[in-house]
Amino acid sequence: MVRPYRLSRTWPRRKLEEATVRKVVTDQADGLRRLMASSPGRLVAVVGSGPAVGVTSVTLNLAAALVQQGQDVLLLDERSGAQSTQAQREGRLVLIDAVLDKEGALSPLAAQADNVLVVLQPNAASITASYACIKRLHYAHALQRLRVLVNYATDAAEAQRILANLAHTGSRYLALALEPAGCVRADPRLAQARRLNLTVVEAFQTSPAAMDFRQIASDLLQWPWRPPGGRAPSLLPFVAASHEASPVLEMH
């Protein structure tokens, strides 16, 4: 039996409830957007331990992998003198292809990074240079934690040995936490992608290097970030202690 009156009372109420739910969801989404817009963004400074370790390739491929994972990424190349405004950075994940000055210090923008990532290659010269780079960064900015990535690794086991050795050395001699960011395997597809003017993540998505970059990008999103209003690393003067003798970093 149809009851028009009851139906007429129920129908508007259901519509009102649905409209209320939509409004709450919309308000929450708007609040989240406002929160993100008011955020200065998350900054990661990518630093090379030497001139030919592939830091630009790492930065570009990480940016591409992060975009594939739904992130709003701003890529800044300090080598080309790229600058950014606060408005451009708001609510974004910013990757900086950072350039160190003559004393091994970061630019004022890169010094605000939530995380500093040092890139090296798996050879004795690059490992030694990376430790010197890490030491200069530590003394220049009073950094207590850095991330380290091995580029062009022969295999994951080799990279893990290098990262473990660096972590032990940094802890022992600098009281510095060197945390592994992973490795990117040597992959001929990297050179092929460059010839195509693409990242390997875009051009050869199933290649070993592309899979490594996607994994590192996924891990990067879990790294701790400086809380809103948190202080940037202090710009302490480069001190004489940075010239202390470096321990020998062995490749086992």
Q: Is residue 96 part of a domain?
A: yes
In this prediction, residue 50 has a pLDDT band, given cuts at 50, 70 and 90, of confident
Q: What is the CA radius of gyration of the chain?
A: 23
pLDDT digits (tens, 9 = 90+) for 187-208: 999 999 999 999 999 999 999 9
pLDDT given for residue 243 in this prediction: 40
Residue 152 lies in a domain: yes
Average pLDDT over residues 133-146: 95
49 domain residue, yes or no: yes
Band (16; pLDDT cuts 50, 70, 90) = very low
Q: Is 18 inside a domain boundary?
A: no
DSSP 15-78: HHHHHHHHHHHHHHHHHHHHHHHHS--EEEEEEESSTTS-HHHHHHHHHHHHHHTT--EEEEEG
Mean pLDDT across the stretch 88-115?
Answer: 93
DSSP letter at 137? Answer: H
C-alpha distance across the termini of the chain, in Å: 85
In a domain, 120, yes or no: yes
pLDDT above 70 (res 170): yes
The answer to whether residue 13 sits within a structural domain is: no
CB atoms within 10 A of CB 43: 25
Residue 24 pLDDT exceeds 80: no
Place of tokens 């060197």: 178
Confidence band of 63 (pLDDT split at 50, 70, 90) = very high
- Total domains in the chain come to 1
The CATH number that applies at residue 132 is 3.40.50.300
Give the lowest-confidence range in 91-95, 147-151, 184-188: 91-95
**Is 11 inside a domain boundary?**
no
Q: Are 186 and 156 in contact (CB under 8 A)?
A: no
Its domain, for residue 213, covers 41-225
Residue 121 lies in a domain: yes
Neighbouring C-beta atoms of residue 27, cutoff 10 Å = 10
Q: What is the DSSP letter of 161?
A: H
Q: What is the mean pLDDT of the chain?
A: 81
